[in-house]
């Protein structure tokens, strides 16, 4: 238990420094005793919960603990009748969570109704991932009959095939199948042994009792396997993998042959396959392409259990969430029956209403406090003063609404250039001569271009960008550009280009010299890096803040064209909105690879699909592209499988 609790009496000043000496017949000791009683009651009311110190949540499970051991410890097996009738709703009251001395949640309640899909939203760094980890490790009081899985880390690679890795993820299924074989053999051996015994023998009676117990256990195991639909496991695992981009051939590849991004997909596939009562997803769309996000959204819409997903992807939340939980100001606010758009529409009105209520209560509290201070020891007014103390004590304590969170991005003015700006003509490329990745690509980018490139992971989208900016050379065809052209490139792994041991201002001074520290700080401010943040070591910044620093550095190049590889990764929704607005206001060209449907829809006027070695303009917007993906998946048999 943390010892950091403090007592706030909600504005009731019981030990005023300006007590006036007034002659009266009031029993001061009696009055002060009453006031202490009220204060104690108030303290108990405010802090009736035990504070939960979550610093251990940032620690990973013991390295010596295998996935199987962790799974079985977190999700104990529930056999026998009556398990399926237990409620799987989750209600944890009076949560106080701190991490590293920073308070994340204070005296708030977590309520998850079984079968609902909750989108957990909030600013970067507010503690959403910490809350998921607390739930995943049962650091919060979730009943043990409710199974939980959290997709957080990529799986380790070995010789196990992708398909088998998914099947092995359901540890209890694997364990029960082995036990079923073991017990069936034991029963067969007992049957053979029993056939040679007389029915009335003591040994036969003992053996019959053992068989009866094993029969009961075997029945429970078979019932649990039937509940799991174990006989459909392999086809269901293959369907999930196919939806996440694993071809039948790739499903047989050893897990050690996959990159980190594909192993994260495997981790997601394993969780979907296990179908826990509570599925916890942390920014799942960051690891996926548009086709896989489309599959995941469709899959989750039919998910029978509870989902709690942290995401900054508006379109994904709109499709998946049945309810929104807004984490802010150390509390959780619930928007029942709301997808993201309806939540966003009502959030600001809620904030304004809360602000009015808070201000009105402050006025009322001040009025009551003034009367108490003036007449608390006045004999004629003592009963009225005590009445107002009680009224003040009973008044619900309203917190000041958080200030409006705003982010601004701003790119510089663009110097005009004569076309052609940059052009790819009949370009081909392969990392090895015998395996061409791209063939006969024709792509033209002008200062007014707003081009989005989509397609499956591994199809060559990032390669197209690297060819365009000159980081790769084509094996065939021609890339031409205006000799005065400046291109600003935002890499998917942009953090690798930053020196995290120095500050943003220090990095800019070294990399883009010529300005004063104050000028660099003002420039960073245009991208939401304000105050002392620009002087902190970048290793202390959040992922979203590092992305903003990268954008600020990019703009110092005064680019004519912005080439962006997954620019929305690590940005919260407010920052993504600000980036979209800045890109729309930018007077140069924009070419982006993105999985974020909302950003593609908001910024891009043309969509190009990179797939099967080609890059071709799509005759429609990103919504039409998603419909085509869904139709193709349905036609090929990749459908929801629950």
C-alpha distances in Å from residue 192, one per residue of 181, 186, 195, 201, 576: 17, 10, 5, 16, 70
Q: What is the distance, to the nearest Å, from the Cα of residue 539 to the centroid of all Cα atoms in its chain? A: 21
Q: Are 405 and 574 in contact (CB under 8 A)?
A: yes
Residue 91 tokens, joined: 């209600």
pLDDT at 196: 72
pLDDT in tens, 489-516: 999 887 778 999 999 999 999 999 999 9
Short-list 565, 575, 588, CA closest to 450: 588
Half-sphere exposure of 119 (CA within 13 A, CB side): 31
pLDDT value of residue 621: 93
Residue 93: strand, helix, or coil: strand
Rounded to whole angstroms, the Cα distance separating 3 from 306 reads 34
pLDDT digits (tens, 9 = 90+) for 147-196: 999 887 667 788 999 999 999 888 888 888 888 888 888 888 887 777 77
CA–CA dist 532, 20 (Å, integer): 45
The pLDDT of residue 38: 56
pLDDT at position 258 is 86
The residue with tokens 């064209």 is 561
CB atoms within 10 A of CB 266: 22
Chain mean position to CA 94: 23
Average of pLDDT values for 379-393?
80
pLDDT at 637: 59
Average pLDDT for 601-616: 96
Average pLDDT over every residue of 227-248: 88
pLDDT band at 302 (very low <50, low <70, confident <90, very high): very high
Share of the chain above pLDDT 70, in %: 86
pLDDT > 60? residue 27: no
**pLDDT score of 51:** 35
Q: What is the mean pLDDT of the chain?
A: 83
Q: Buried b / exposed e across 250-265, counting CB within 10 Å, b at 16+?
A: bbeeebeebeeebbbb
* Strands 450-454 and 606-611, sheet pairing: parallel
CA 601/CA 595 separation, integer angstroms: 11
- pLDDT band (50, 70, 90) for residue 44: very low
Tell me the average pLDDT across 605-622. 95
The per-residue b/e assignment along 59-70, b for 16 or more CB within 10 angstroms, e otherwise, is eeeeeeeeeeee
At 251 the pLDDT is 95
Region 10-27: mean pLDDT is 38
- For the segment 97-118, the average pLDDT, to the nearest whole number, is 88
What's the CA angle centered on 294, arms 288 and 296, to 5 degrees? 70
CB 262 within 8 A of CB 457: yes
DSSP string, 545-570: HHHHHHHHHHHTT--SEEEEESTTTT
pLDDT value at 35 more than 80:
no
Q: Could you give the CA distance from residue 554 to residue 592 in angstroms, rounded to a whole number?
A: 14
Higher-pLDDT residue of 186, 9:
186
53-158+254-338 maps to which CATH number? 3.40.50.300
Residue 526 in this model has a pLDDT that exceeds 90: no
Exposed / middle / buried, residue 474 (Cβ in 10 Å: 0-12, 13-18, 19+) = middle
Mean pLDDT within 280-304: 89
Around Cβ 129, how many Cβ atoms within 10 Å?
A: 18
Query: What pLDDT is recorded for position 477?
Result: 96
For residue 397, CA distances in Å to 9, 43, 334, 366, 411 come to: 9, 12, 19, 13, 44
Q: Give the tokens for residue 29.
A: 């000791």
What pLDDT sits at residue 317? 95
CATH H-level, domain 422-635: superfamily: P-loop containing nucleotide triphosphate hydrolases (3.40.50.300)
What pLDDT is recorded for position 15? 35
User: What pLDDT is recorded for position 25?
Assistant: 44
pLDDT at position 524 is 93
pLDDT (average), residues 199-215: 80
255 pLDDT tier (thresholds 50, 70, 90): very high
Residue 152 CA to residue 267 CA, distance in Å, equals: 8
What does the pLDDT read at residue 114? 97
Three-class secondary structure of residue 439 per DSSP: strand
User: Has residue 313 got a pLDDT over 60?
Assistant: yes
Query: Of 321-330, 405-414, 415-424, 582-591, where does mean pLDDT reach its minimum?
Result: 405-414
Which residue would you say has higher pLDDT here, 540 or 238? 238
| Structure confidence at residue 40 (pLDDT) | 55
Per-residue DSSP letters for 484-537? Answer: T--EEEE-TTGGGGS-TTSBHHHHHHHHS-SS-HHHHHHHHHTTT--GGGGGSB
In this predicted structure, the answer to whether residue 20 has a pLDDT above a threshold of 80 is no
- The pLDDT value given to residue 9: 33
Are the C-beta atoms of residues 469 and 463 closer than 8 Å to each other?
A: no
Rg from Cα positions in the chain:
31
- Sequence spans of domains, the chain: 8-46+339-401, 53-158+254-338, 163-238, 422-635
Q: Residue 6 has what pLDDT?
A: 31
DSSP β-ladder status, 331-335 and 323-328: antiparallel
The string of pLDDT tens digits covering residues 349-383 is 877 887 888 888 888 888 888 888 888 777 777 78
Residues 442-500 pLDDT 10s: 999 999 999 999 998 888 999 999 999 999 999 999 999 999 999 999 998 877 789 99
Report pLDDT for 445: 95
Rounded distance between C-alpha atoms, residue 424 and residue 430, angstroms: 16
């Amino acid at each position: 238990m943390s010892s950091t609790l403090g007592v706030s009496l909600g504005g009731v000043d019981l030990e005023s420094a300006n007590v006036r000496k007034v002659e009266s017949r009031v029993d001061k000791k009696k009055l002060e005793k009453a006031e202490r009683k009220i204060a104690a009651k108030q303290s108990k009311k405010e802090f009736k919960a035990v504070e939960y110190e979550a610093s251990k949540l940032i620690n990973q499970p013991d390295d010596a603990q295998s996935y199987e051991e962790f799974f079985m410890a977190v999700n104990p097996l529930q056999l026998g009748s009556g398990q399926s009738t237990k409620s799987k709703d989750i209600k944890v009251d009076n949560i106080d969570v701190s991490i590293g001395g920073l308070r994340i949640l204070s005296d708030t309640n977590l309520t998850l109704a079984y079968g609902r899909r909750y989108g957990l939203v909030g600013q970067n760094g507010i503690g959403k991932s910490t809350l998921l980890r607390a739930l995943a490790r049962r650091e919060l009081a979730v009943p043990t009959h409710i199974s939980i899985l959290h997709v957080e880390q990529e799986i380790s690679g070995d010789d196990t095939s992708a398909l088998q890795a998914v099947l092995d993820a359901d540890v209890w299924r694997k364990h029960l199948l082995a036990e079923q074989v073991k017990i069936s053999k034991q029963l067969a051996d007992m049957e053979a042994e029993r056939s040679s015994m007389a029915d009335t023998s003591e040994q036969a009676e003992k053996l019959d009792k053992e068989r009866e117990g094993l029969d009961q256990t075997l029945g429970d195991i078979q019932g649990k396997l039937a509940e799991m639909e174990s006989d459909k496991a392999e086809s269901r695992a293959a369907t999930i993998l196919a939806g996440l981009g694993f071809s039948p051939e790739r499903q047989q590849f050893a897990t050690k042959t996959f990159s980190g991004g594909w192993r994260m997909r495997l981790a997601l596939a394993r969780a979907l396959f296990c179908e826990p009562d509570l599925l916890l997803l942390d920014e799942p769309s960051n690891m996926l392409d548009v086709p896989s996000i489309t599959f995941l959204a469709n899959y989750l819409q039919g998910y029978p259990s509870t989902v709690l997903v942290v995401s900054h992807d508006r379109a994904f939340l709109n499709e998946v969430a049945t309810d929104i939980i807004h984490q802010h100001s150390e509390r959780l606010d619930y928007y029942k029956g709301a997808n993201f758009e309806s939540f966003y529409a009502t959030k600001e009105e809620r904030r304004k209403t809360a602000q009015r209520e808070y201000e009105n209560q402050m006025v009322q509290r001040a009025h009551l406090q003034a009367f108490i201070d003036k007449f608390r020891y006045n004999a004629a007014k003592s009963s009225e003063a005590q009445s107002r103390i009680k009224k003040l004590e009973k008044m619900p304590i309203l917190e000041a609404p958080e200030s409006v969170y705003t982010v601004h991005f701003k790119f510089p003015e663009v110097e005009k250039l004569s076309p052609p700006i940059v052009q790819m003509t009949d370009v081909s490329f392969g990392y090895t001569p015998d395996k061409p990745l791209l063939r006969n690509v024709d792509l033209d980018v002008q200062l007014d271009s707003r081009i989005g490139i989509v397609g499956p992971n591994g199809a060559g989208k990032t390669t197209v960008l690297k060819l365009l900016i000159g980081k790769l050379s084509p094996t065939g065809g021609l890339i031409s550009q205006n000799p005065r052209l400046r291109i600003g490139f935002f890499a998917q792994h942009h953090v690798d280009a930053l020196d995290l041991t120095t500050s943003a201002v220090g990095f800019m001074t070294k990399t883009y010299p010529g300005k004063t520290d104050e000028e660099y700080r003002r420039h960073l401010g245009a991208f939401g890096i304000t105050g002392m943040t620009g002087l902190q070591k970048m290793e202390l910044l959040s992922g979203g803040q590092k992305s903003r620093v990268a954008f600020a550095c990019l703009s110092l190049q005064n680019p004519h064209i912005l080439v962006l590889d997954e620019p929305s990764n690590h940005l919260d929704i407010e920052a993504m909105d600000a980036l979209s607005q800045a890109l729309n206001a930018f007077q140069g060209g924009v070419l982006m690879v993105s999985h974020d449907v909302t950003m593609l829809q908001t910024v891009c006027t043309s969509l190009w699909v990179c797939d099967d070695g080609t890059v071709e303009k799509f005759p429609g917007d990103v919504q039409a592209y998603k419909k085509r993906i869904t139709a193709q998946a349905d036609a090929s048999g990749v459908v929801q499988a629950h």
